[in-house]
Amino acid sequence: MSATVTTLAALRAGQSATVRAVTGDSAIVQRILAMGLLEGSDVRVIRFAPAGDPMEVEVLGYPLSLRKSEAANVEVDHIR
Amino acid sequence: MSDAPGATPAPQSAPATYTRPVIAVVGNPNTGKSTLFSRLTGVRQKVGNYPGVTVEKKIGRIRLAERDADLVDLPGSYSLAAHSPDEMIAVDVLLGRVPGMKRPDAVLVVVDASNLRRNLFLASQVLELGVPVVLALNMVDVADQRGIVLDPRQLGERLGCAVVPIVATARDGKSKVQFASRPAALPDHQASEVPAATSTQLSGFDDLRTALGDAVAAANRAPAAVFPELTAAARELAQTFSSATHQLDPLETERALLDVGSYSEERLLARADTPDQRAALVAALEATRNQLAGDKPIAAVEAARRYQWIFKALDGVEVRGEPRPGWSDRIDSVLTHPVLGLLSFVGIMFVVFQAVFTWSGPLMDLIDGAFGDLGQSVGAALGEGAFSSLVEKGIIAGVGSVLIFLPQILILFLFIAILEDSGYMARAAFLTDRMMRLAGLSGQSFVPLLSSFACAIPGIMAARTIPDRKDRLTTILVAPLMSCSARLPVYTILISSFVPNQKYLGGWLSLQGLVMAAMYFVGIFTAMAAAVLIKRFMLRGPAPAFLMEMPPYRRPMLRAVAQRLWERGGVFVRRAGTIIFAVVLVVWVLSYFPRPEHIAQQYEVEREALAQQTDLDDAARADALADIDHREARDYLEQSAFGRIGHFIEPLFRPLGWDWRISAAAMASFPAREVVVAVLGTTFAVGDDIDVDDDDSAGTMRAALQNATWPDGRKLFNLPVALSLMVFFALCLQCGATVAAIKREANSWGWAIFAWCYMTGLAWVAACVVYQASYALLM
């Protein structure tokens, strides 16, 4: 594993990963966590909106849309 | 208007008159909560606002076996975290802190059975309260289609509450609901082996009523041990810092612990009696967080504990089969496709816009005609005089000017209900989010703003679907800048009178059409700029999260759609109706009084003189009489309070190229923009019933405007004046019904007055710039 941190925002459509941590401002962190994106969750990128942002991911078996700026708060590893 | 946490709501106990049990309804968005609420309460509901916030308060009556109870619908949310006053309402209702409402006797949690894991996050927060809980396991049919096998009985035992499987949208509630409420499916059962129930006794709604009846009669339950250390720490903190003057509640203390640096924490700290006590509380909160979470954010630890608890509760209770790609995914691969998705989006929006714009036409004409006829016949029956004018031009015309918007509102809400219930609205927000961000808004503002091209009122009412308060308010404040259909008569008459009818590119482009399009772009551009400025300077704060579930596509349910139309229509007629009605009355009084005797005498003389003339045929006589009537009306208007105000404010509008008549007409159009056409008509003595669709009367009106002069004989109207008047009407908020709608939706006169002031100011500046620039260039 490289030393740089990969975030959910950097994944391509079709890629899956495991959430390692959620960082940032408390309000946004709480919202991300409540949606099920928390340490240990598996997440898969379904698609991006036509303008490349926001993105749609699958977590806990349901589709969730979020902006890249929010996805950048979600650190991931085990990208596959 | 401020975001600062205000004084805490004082009443801790309910008024003695409150006798019915109260049941709060909570749930994630897209769980069918509103549909279930409507089906349980029918039309017996009251819609209002919570004091000081923009959250809708919806209370309905539900019939239980023993007695009736009040259902209180809370806004759909994913968590009880409270970062704003609007989000705090859910906590306040659950604690019984809202004035006039008592603490709920039970809570109905609505969850999506096909998405239980995330839905139970909110449920786990409610289960910690210790209040009796009923869990409505909604959409069990969807879960079934997705191969999810559930054991509701077992789930109820694990959660310690009643769990009732239902299908809130089932057309024939009973049979389908029963299919879902079959005996607990054990994990080793195949779904096909379980026979569908046939008994009509076990319907989901009946079971739900029974469970709710038991819940309101039950004593408090033991709080669920989701994160016991947190619950204990919150209770201890609340005890330590409660004093004779204030009681801290464990739940609000827990929220303050979790929602670091947010509204709920601020509000808890605001309860401290002294600065020292506040400092001690800050330190205690920080110490408790460290003790519970170490170096991790406390919210991360809390979320981890909740999801651990949820996974444990669902182990063996929810068995998920192989995920099958359903038709919902296939639709999405088209509707969110980079090319096809955008094309279908434009197509759908075009249909919606066309429908609101054109389908409503005949209905609006019908209402307009009916009220016109009614006014005339009542006016005729009452004869001449102030009372007759009040009834005809004040009351009947006033009510008509409100009801005329009803067709547009109903048609738009029909589409919005269908788009929302089908799940498409989330896709529309997904597709337009990037574009709307240029204006500092999110994709969720797109549909309300688009609707405002037809009429700002349904657009403003549609803004309630925007979850973030700042985005919602900004959308409400800029929506009236979109050129609505009421501006069309103003544009039409002025463009046809003063813009040369030049054609370019072999007739494909006309100057008149270009000016019309320019008016629409002025509105759009100004709205975008205003949104950016409002977000930057007035409603500052971090960009709201755009985190939303993409709900599966579903077929909208006719009953639910119809009920929402009924609800929205009723709200509009009742609330906006009363306010606009008052405004119309004021304008009528100002433009009717005073009525100097000498004017009546002067025109009476003229009428008598006309009666003496014998060489006139009937048509000429009628024309001459009408001319006298119009001149009399014009003189009365000039003498009225309105006319005097017009003269008084004329200097203010001189830089726009207007005289007192245009100024007074612009002011008199406060109830509704298109009134300006009628008032200009009266003022320039061409008849007070100007119908711009009618070539003849439009022709007369055109001629009258083109011939109007200043006292020194110069022509009053020219292209610069027409442009300045159009730009003014493109940007001003001369629409009493919209002002009333803003007041209602923002729940504050402050925002409504602000909207009027900033738009009128903008309109004045823009009209002045356009007049001065075009005068310098053209004249």
Q: What is the pLDDT of residue B323?
A: 62
**Contact across the interface for A70 and B547, Cβ inside 8 Å:** yes
- Three-class SS of B485-501: HHHHHHHHHHHHHHCCC
Chain B: residue nearest A49 by CA? B431
Q: For chain A, how are helix, strand and coil distributed in percent, rounded to 5? A: 20, 40, 40
| Burial (0-12, 13-18, 19+ Cβ within 10 Å), B46 | exposed
Q: Number of helices (H) and strands (E) in chain B: give both, helices first.
A: 35, 12
Regions of chain A with pLDDT less than 70: 1-3
Residue type, B702: R
Q: How far apart are CA B491 and CA B698, in angstroms?
A: 13
Radius of gyration, alpha carbons of chain A: 11
- ipTM for the complex shown: 0.94
Q: How far apart are CA B500 and CA B510, in angstroms?
A: 9
Q: How far apart are CA B127 and CA B519, in angstroms?
A: 55
Nearest Cα of chain B lies from the Cα of A53 at a distance, in angstroms, of: 6
Q: Which of residues 26-45 of A touch B (CB under 8 A)?
A: 26-36, 38-40
In the 8-state DSSP scheme, what is residue B109? Answer: E
Say which of A25, A32, A50 has its CB closest to residue B341: A50
Is A10 part of the contact surface with chain B (CB cutoff 8 Å)?
Answer: no
Q: How many CB atoms lie within 10 A of CB B265?
A: 24
- Supply the DSSP string of B60-99, one letter for each residue: EEEE-SSSEEEEEEPPP-S----SSHHHHHHHHHHHT-ST
Contacts of A9 in chain B (CB under 8 A): none
A45 and A57 in contact (C-beta within 8 Å)?
A: yes
Chain B: residue nearest A30 by CA? B299
In the 8-state DSSP scheme, what is residue A4? Answer: S
Residue B494 C-beta-side C-alpha neighbours within 13 Å: 28
Q: How many CB atoms lie within 10 A of CB B657?
A: 23
Q: Does the CA dihedral B691-B692-B693-B697 come out positive or negative?
A: positive
- Supply the DSSP string of B532-590, one letter for each residue: HHIIIIIS-SSPPP--EE-PPP-PPPHHHHHHHHHHHHHHIIIIIHHHHHHHHHHHHHH
Nearest Cα of chain A lies from the Cα of B68 at a distance, in angstroms, of: 34
Q: How far apart are CA B251 and CA B267, in angstroms?
A: 13
CA B466 to chain CA mean position, Å: 9
Contacts of A22 in chain B (CB under 8 A): 300
Say which of A26, A35, A70 has its CB closest to residue B262: A26
Q: How far apart are CA B473 and CA B54, in angstroms?
A: 9
Regions of chain B with pLDDT less than 70: 1-18, 43-44, 49, 52-54, 170-203, 322-326, 353, 357, 398, 401-402, 542-543, 575-584, 678, 681-700
Contacts of B307 in chain A (CB under 8 A): 36, 38
Q: How far apart are CA B779 and CA B439, in angstroms?
A: 37
Q: Which two tokens stand for residue B40?
A: 């349980």
- Three-class SS of B675-695: HHHHHHHHHCCCCCCCCCCCH
Radius of gyration, alpha carbons of chain B: 31
Indicate which of A43, A62, A74, A75 best probes the interface with B, i.e. most B CBs within 10 Å of its own CB.
Answer: A62
Q: What is the pLDDT of residue B532?
A: 92
Angle at Cα B427 formed by Cα B423 and Cα B428, nearest 5°? 110
Give the model confidence (pLDDT) of B119-176 as tens digits: 999 999 999 988 999 999 988 877 877 778 788 888 999 999 999 888 887 654 443 4
Q: How far apart are CA B492 and CA B490, in angstroms?
A: 6
Chain A: residue nearest B553 by CA? A63
Contacts of B547 in chain A (CB under 8 A): 31-32, 35, 64-66, 70
Q: How far apart are CA B537 and CA B760, in angstroms?
A: 19
Nearest Cα of chain A lies from the Cα of B433 at a distance, in angstroms, of: 7
**Contact across the interface for B297 and A26, Cβ inside 8 Å:** yes
**Contact across the interface for A26 and B341, Cβ inside 8 Å:** no
* Verdict on whether the full-model pTM lies above 0.95: no
Q: For chain B, how are helix, strand and coil distributed in percent, rounded to 5? A: 65, 5, 30
Residue B339 C-beta-side C-alpha neighbours within 13 Å: 0
Q: How many CB atoms lie within 10 A of CB B111?
A: 25
Q: What is the pLDDT of residue B598?
A: 86
Is A72 part of the contact surface with chain B (CB cutoff 8 Å)?
Answer: no
End-to-end CA distance of chain B: 45
Angle at Cα B571 formed by Cα B567 and Cα B572, nearest 5°? 120
Q: What is the pLDDT of residue B561?
A: 84
CA distances to A34, A70, B6 from B80, rounded to whole Å, are: 10, 20, 20
Q: Does the CA dihedral A5-A7-A9-A14 come out positive or negative?
A: positive
Q: Which two tokens stand for residue B132?
A: 């009796």
Q: How far apart are CA A33 and CA A39, in angstroms?
A: 9
Indicate which of B254, B430, B442 best probes the interface with A, i.e. most A CBs within 10 Å of its own CB.
Answer: B430
CA B593 to chain CA mean position, Å: 37
Q: How far apart are CA B469 and CA B541, in angstroms?
A: 11
Chain B: residue nearest A33 by CA? B303
Q: What is the pLDDT of residue A9?
A: 95
B179 and B141 in contact (C-beta within 8 Å)?
A: yes
